Every structure is written in C-alpha cells, then in structure tokens.
Structure 1
Amino acid sequence: MEPTTSYPKDKIKILFLENISDRAVKHFTQAGYANVKKLSGALSEEELIKEIKDVHLLGIRSKTQVTEKVLAAATKLQAIGAFCIGVNQINLKAATKTGITVFNAPYSNTRSVAELVIGASIMLIRRIPDKNKAAHEGIWMKDAKGSFELRGKTLGIIGYGNIGTQVSVLAEALGMKVLYYDVVTKLPLGNAEACKSLKDLVSQSDIVTLHVPETAQTRNMINKNNLKFFKKGSILLNYARGEVVDLDALRKFIVDGHISGAGIDVYPWEPEKNGDRFQTPLQDLPNVILTPHIGGSTEEAQQNIGVDVSNKLFQFLEMGITTGSHTVPELSLPPQEGTHRILHVHNNVPGVLSAINTQLSNHKINILGQYLKTNEDIGYVVLDVDKKLSKQAEKLLRDVKETIKVRLLY
C-alpha cells in the first residue's frame, strides 16, 4: 500500500500540551504517527519557541499563548488544534499570514456548560452556598426565607448561540420562562422570546446568564451602568468570558443587596496552573459560587473535544481538508484516484491561480483536479496532478509569486 502522506509518518512531529485527551493521542498513534509528544501543562512563550521548532502539528487548550514570535519560530508548523471552544489564545492574524491552519471545537462541551448553568441556578436561587457554608461550620440554617423554585421564574440569556440555546431548552423543561438577547437575529427554540435590548432583558429576568464571546463590544458589557437595571434580587451567571463582567461593580451591587447572588466561572485574570494563588473581588461574599474555569471540564466534554479536533487535524494532514478552519479558507474534497495532491497557500492577490496554471501547462503537467477558496488575506488551492510529475509540479509551484506555503500531501 502507498503511504498516506508523502512525508514519512514517523518523521511528522506532533506536540500536545495541557493534558489533552488521550483519545487525540491514540487517533494519531493508531494511524501510524509514532512521533507524538504529550505534556501535562502549558508552556511559556520562551519554552514554546524552543519546543516548536520542528513540530508539524500543535495541540493546545486555553492557557498556551501562541504569539507571533512563537509562529515565527515554527518553521515546519502546518496546523494548530485548539482543544477548547475559543481561539483567543492564538494570534490568528499571524497564523493566517504564514498559512497555518487553526481548528477548534466550538460545540463539543456545550452540554457540560449548559448543565452547570442550570445546576448553579438551582443552588443560588435556593441560597445553598450560604447553607452549605454554615453546615460546615456547625451552624444549622433550616430556613425557607429567600429560597425559591426555578419553576415559574424568568431566565434571561445574553448570547443565544450554541450554549445559550441548550440552556434555553433545559430551562424551559424545568418550567422557566426564557428570554434572550443577541446582536444577531436568532430564531427561538421552544417558547423562548427575544428581547429588543439588554436593558429590556435584565429588567425582567430573575436569573441572567451570559454566553457571549470576548470582543471589544462585549468587554465589561455588564457594568455599573446596566447593573442598576437588573431586577432587584436577581442572580447573575457568567460562564462565558472573564472580561465580560466588571467584577468590582458586581461586588458593590451584591453587597448593597440589589443582586442576590452570582455564579462566576471565568475571570479577567486566572492563575497559570493548579495550586497558584487566586484572587477576585467576589471572594467572601454571600450566595456566590466561584469555580475555576471548569464550565466545559467534564470527562465527556474533553473526550468529545479530543475526537473533534484530532479528526480535523487528521483530515487536514491526510487529505488537505480545512473545514472548521479559522485561518486558511475552508475546503472539503474527496481524494482523487491515480493522482498526487499538492496544497498551495498564497497571498490573495489577482493572477495567482492563472500563474499556477501557466507554470504547470508550460511544463506539460496535467491538472486532474483543482480546488480554490479565498478569504480576505490568503488563497488556498488544492491540486491533484499526474503522479509521475508531482515532484516537478511542487518545485514549480514554490516559484509562483505570492506563494506562502506549498506541501506535497501524497
């Protein structure tokens, strides 16, 4: 049988950081990629620069920062897999310029986060954190005052995306009324109702839960100016991004009694590793649940993420498929019988495809299949060419003006 890739599998170096699921490791080792290195923690920029020099595939989670300097040192890097929802930790602009494909797993841990949101809602509306603390201190607090059922209450969801919609379905199944607000028009699930403004939503909701990305527009979107519009006695949950809530302002509103409780899983600053000292303005407040960024940290979620991202990396490595990429344009294509496949990444300027075809036709190299996709910055061409001439074709394509990266795939 022919090798699946033109480059020997035992020479393809794969580096997985931050204790990525063993399912991801097995996916590659069982397919013959023996050179897989797995580390339990994140690496600093300096450490990663040293480690990444000869790496072809990199797998990370949320702690590892893939900076422009790291990417400049990664001379052989083909793809990065972010084994998590976000890609904020990767310099996508620099990765795009160097033709490095970046994948993530935007849907694999949504259920884990949604369940935790519902669980925290039950705990906080019953004021369980205070009763739990008292019981541990030997104090009996058998009291119904300020303790409520979720049924019949209103849940306000800010950000009606993958997680927000799952929270919506679970909440409605528990008998809650669901409101949502999103900057993009979204069709409701079940009986959920859209609100026209943030103020409209928070003023009606008994519990407000955030499920938005971290952008310039969402930074400190919950602050002293709009916390005053929250329904008195309501609860705030943030299992989204740490920069979305002004925690100092939230502390004041909890101390004043306007907000009756909060569940916070993400913070503007988080420790680098387990055991490090952690501080937040919300410590030592009543009816507040603080968790260490574990919204998606379940065995099931990590296994699902491991499978999802490793599949994307594997399909790119063996077939050039870029579905789900944040950098290189998305292409999904079947293998072509009796050909060799070449991947060509180039700056997106007029005339490159014409130059590619001219180069090959001038040397009588027959193109049996060709696929092109572009974004604002770069173009991605996949060519299936005659086996006998593939090496020559690869060399010719490297000489095409505006070329960023060329790889003979198989």
Structure 2
Amino acid sequence: MPDVFINYRTGDEEATATLLDRELSRRFGSERIFRASKSIAAGRNFPQALLTAVRRCHVLLAVIGPRWTEARPADGGAPGTPGDWTQRELQEALGAATTVVPVLVGPVARLRRTELPEALAALADLQYRRLHHRTADADLRRIADDLAALVPSLAAVDRFRAGERAHHTGPAPLPAELPWQERWVDPVRLESARPDHPFLFSATVRWRPARTDASPRDPGLADLAVSTVVSRARALVAGENPEHRETALLLLRGELGCPYTDPAARITVRADDTDLNLDEADRARLAELSRLRKEAGARELHRLLERSRHPHPDDAAAEHAVRLVDALGLAPGSPERAAYAKRLARATAAVGRTAAAAQIRQHLAACRCTSPAE
C-alpha cells in the first residue's frame, strides 16, 4: 500500500511530479510512492485505482504550478468540472482527513480561497512547501524529511537504511562547510549618544547558510546578512560618544569580526574591513568644540597659577584687616573686638571689596565673636 500519493494536473508541472516521485522512491522505496502513470498497471480500472490509492495513503502531495488553474485535464474537462480528476483526488483526501501538503512550484503565490473552487477552498489554509529549481536539492530533502516525520513507516525506512550505511561504510563524514559569500555595505547612518552627530558605518559583510543543505544563491540571504550586521552595529554604538569614535570602532571590530548567527539561525555572518566615521561637517564641529574646551581649560589653569603666585586683592585686604584687629590686642570673643571687626568689614565693603568683607565676617565666626546689636 503506498504511503504517499502525488497529485498533479496534466499540463502543469508533470516534470516536477516525476522528479518528486524519483527522489522519494529513491529514499523510501518505489512501492511507497504513488504516481498514476507509474503505479496503475495496464488494464486496471483507472478511476477505481486512483480513488483507492487516495483513501489508503497517509499523505497527499498536491503539486501546484503556475498553470494549475488554467490547465485542462486529459479528458478535456475544465478545472472544477466533474471530469477534473485532480480535484476529485483532492476532495477525496480532504474528506477522508488525509494529510494534504500543497507543493508550490517556482514563483507560484500562496493559495487564496477566492481563487480556488469552493470544494477546494480548504487548501488555502494548509501549510505548504515550496519547490524551486534554484534550491531543488534542499527543497526535495525538506519534503522527504517532512514525510518521514508525518509517517512512522517512512521514518522506519530511514532508520533501517541509515543503519545499513553505517554498517557497511562506517560513520558518515561530516559535511563540508559552505564557502563565505560577501557583500559590501555602503556607509549607513547609526545613531550615537548625540543624535545630532550620527556615525557612518561601513563594512564587508561575509555570510554563509547555517545549514549545509541550504543554497547560498538565495538572494534573500544576502539581504538578511546585511540587516543582521547593521542591526548589531546599531545596538553596539547607540550609547557611544562621537568624540570617542576610535573606541567605538575597536568595539565594533571585536564584536562583528567573530562569526555569529542571525536570530532565526538561518545564516552565519561576520564583518571585515569595518569602518566607523563621522560626516565631514560633524567632524569639523567636534574639532572646534574640543579646541574651545582646551583653551578654556588652559585659561582656568593659568588663572589658578597666577592666584597662587600673587594673592588676590580681596584676600590681601581681608588678611590686613584681621592682622589689624589682632594688633590692637582686643581679646578674642570680646564685644570690642567684634564691633571693631564689623566696622572694618563695612568699610571694606563700602569701597567695593565685597569678597574681602565676607572673609572678615568668616574670621569673626571662626573666632566665635559675639557682635553687638546694630
């Protein structure tokens, strides 16, 4: 009894149906795969043989190509009419709760209920597999793996044949790693710690499929590789100050230079020739800001040095006033000393030496002088 029924429409992808039959028969055995032109013996009742095989199979593969809705059945009936055997096989499988897997060939779009006969509308809700000539080996392998997972008897065939191979040939050799593909990334703006000064990131992105059975020619993988590297670079430099560009560049080269996989584990990527720069105008503004900061720092240092060499006039005035109070011999804490010091502070403030007056008052507080009422 066949485990897998290959359903296809005459005039649409007969060659693909034959390819499926050949590859699945090679893996699981020809008697387990049903394809009408191969499996129905001469002289047998054709309708009865078809319907019996559909009812007894575990999985029906519905091969759907670009002409599936336009092709005419062999008996001349239009798709959807009683003479359409492709539809009758599908209806029989759906009615018997048989697992149906649509196999979309080439660029065929996902099925829509509005584009299908009412009796087959349920096909649009079923998870499909795709078979493309560019990735045929990987696609066929995936379909066969799906069937082994769905049908225990096919999984048993896999295990038996794997045991035979191991017995006769020893452990299977490890698959060779696929070569690296590459794509240059033109400068991309990445936000820095200062949104008005973004970084300009560029690199050579190198990538290869994470699975050895995937095809590196899939154009979507190259876009995925670039997106993966740019996203990680954006996250790494988001908090970096543009004035510390060299530090951020070293961080990027260290993190992106080691191979890693994308979140979906479809590809392995790394980045070489990584560069992180700033727009010319931004670099000029940062250079000018740095120069101004250095000049301001130099002026402040010079002021402090000069003040250490030559006491400030306010400091000198305060010191002379305190010495004068001490020279008069007025006892610390006495009302006379406090009154005299207060008069000196007022006089000092009156001639514009406010800072000196404040220092005299601080000296009074340090001596715990009690000032008389004003």
Would you call these one fold, judging by a TM-score over 0.5? no
Output the TM-score relative to the length of structure 2. 0.25
Output the TM-score relative to the length of structure 1. 0.24
The higher radius of gyration belongs to 2
The structure whose residues are more often strand, as a share, is 1
The structure whose residues are more often helix, as a share, is 2
